[in-house]
Amino acid sequence: MARPVILDVDTGIDDALALIFAHRRGDLDVRAITCVAGNTGVDQVVLNTCAVLDLLAAPDIPVAAGATRPLVEPPRDASWVHGAGGLADLALPPSARQPAALHAVEILRREILAAATPLTVVALGPLTNLALLIRTYPDVVNRIERIVFMGGSASTGNASPVAEYNIWHDPEAAAIMLNSGVPLTMYGLDVYRRVIADTALLGELKASTDPLQRAVGALLGFEVAAPTGETYANPLIGDAGAVCGLVAPELFEFETWPVQVEFARGLSRGQTLVDRRRTLGEDAVHDSRREPWPRIEMAMSCDAERVMALFKDALRPKD
């Protein structure tokens, strides 16, 4: 039986790859897609998501607009990574699909409570919608099977030297989710950076006669124009890897560690602090106020070649 999921996205390039992969799998039942401001503005996220669903000839899955900005910070888009519209230079036709009349938080609550078997949320953008859901409707917390989230890092950052973009964009929201008690799986930069399309695959996809494969080639082949003026390729499947981790956990190595988010203003704001010490230190002895940190399962490494093959296999034209 297909696993019921909701994808919470800030459709940009790799969210689109995740939508494509999730839709092409037969073992995931995408009940709804909720949109959040991140890579681009939330209205553009909705337009991009609907355009990708058209590319997939997907059924009428509810697409809902959510938070227009983080809980505290102003929105800070990543258009230099994902292109002006968020979908590289892919000119997908505008969709006739209309977003749901309800806010993303309402759709999340409705689908979570209606699911006959507990539903998994795959969060691929800033965690603002999830935080609003948890704070507005605490009754749903124990009805969520798991939140698999692309975010954080047990090593270095990307948005800053230590913070990963989705967490950096809304650290308060990430902290609310981390401390909610919902079972969590973190798909952080430690694996996110590993699954890369090689030149041969890029060439194959770009030259394909299949429109979906050509679109994936354009998304993966997009040249990032950094603020410094440098341009570079970024052929990561990115968020799609988090969905791969959900359907094929055997391709990943997971560890469980205490994690907290730094949201004090300063150089490390948005860092996921992963406590990999085998014993507590002075902070536990001398800081009696210290609460135990939530212990989070996180992907630390993967068989990148097999994950890439899994992603590619989902692109095979259906008979």
Q: Which residues bind ligand RIB (CB under 6 A)?
A: 10, 12, 14-15, 38-39, 78, 124-125, 150, 158, 164-166, 238-239
Interface stretch with Ca ion, choices 8-16, 85-93, 136-144, 266-274 (CB under 5 A): 8-16
- Least CB distance from residue 38 to Ca ion, whole Å? 6
Q: Which is nearer to Ca ion, 44 or 115 (CB)?
A: 44
**Residue 271 binding partner per list Ca ion, ligand RIB, none, with a CB distance cut-off of 5 to 8 Å that depends on partner kind:** none
Per-residue binding letters, 237-276, with Ca ion (x by CB under 5 A): --x-------------------------------------
Interface stretch with Ca ion, choices 184-192, 236-244, 266-274, 277-285 (CB under 5 A): 236-244
**Angstrom distance (rounded) from CA 247 to CA 302:** 13
* Interacting residues with Ca ion between 100 and 139 (CB under 5 A): 124-125
**Residue 164 binding partner per list ligand RIB, Ca ion, none, with a CB distance cut-off of 5 to 8 Å that depends on partner kind:** ligand RIB
Please write down the HEC assignment for all residues of the chain. Answer: CCEEEEEEECCCHHHHHHHHHHHHCCCEEEEEEEECCCCCCHHHHHHHHHHHHHHCCCCCCCEEECCCCCCCCCCCCCHHHHCCCCCCCCCCCCCCCCCCCCCHHHHHHHHHHHCCCCEEEEECCCCHHHHHHHHHCHHHHHHEEEEEEECCCCCCCCCCCCECHHHHHCHHHHHHHHCCCCCEEEECHHHHCCCECCHHHHHHHHCCCCHHHHHHHHHHCCEEECCCCCEEECCECCHHHHHHHHHCHHHEEEEEEEEEECCCCCCCCCEEEECCCCCCCHHHHHCCCCCCCCEEEEEEEECHHHHHHHHHHCCCCCC
Q: What six digits make up the tokens of 280?
A: 């507590």
- Least CB distance from residue 168 to ligand RIB, whole Å? 8
- Least CB distance from residue 126 to Ca ion, whole Å? 8
Q: Which residues contact 319 (CB under 8 A, 6 or more apart)?
A: none
- Least CB distance from residue 137 to ligand RIB, whole Å? 24
Helix axes 13-24, 239-247, angle to 10 degrees: 30
| Residue nearest ligand RIB, Cβ-based | 165
Q: Are 231 and 287 in contact (CB under 8 A)?
A: no
- Least CB distance from residue 317 to ligand RIB, whole Å? 26
**Residue 11 binding partner per list Ca ion, ligand RIB, none, with a CB distance cut-off of 5 to 8 Å that depends on partner kind:** none
**Residue 158 binding partner per list ligand RIB, Ca ion, none, with a CB distance cut-off of 5 to 8 Å that depends on partner kind:** ligand RIB
- Least CB distance from residue 18 to ligand RIB, whole Å? 8
**Residue 251 binding partner per list ligand RIB, Ca ion, none, with a CB distance cut-off of 5 to 8 Å that depends on partner kind:** none
**Residue 217 binding partner per list ligand RIB, Ca ion, none, with a CB distance cut-off of 5 to 8 Å that depends on partner kind:** none
- Least CB distance from residue 251 to Ca ion, whole Å? 21
Q: Are 217 and 180 in contact (CB under 8 A)?
A: no
**Residue 190 binding partner per list ligand RIB, Ca ion, none, with a CB distance cut-off of 5 to 8 Å that depends on partner kind:** none
Per-residue binding letters, 9-48, with Ca ion (x by CB under 5 A): -x----x---------------------------------
Question: Which residue ranges make up the site for Ca ion (CB under 5 A)?
Answer: 10, 15, 124-125, 239
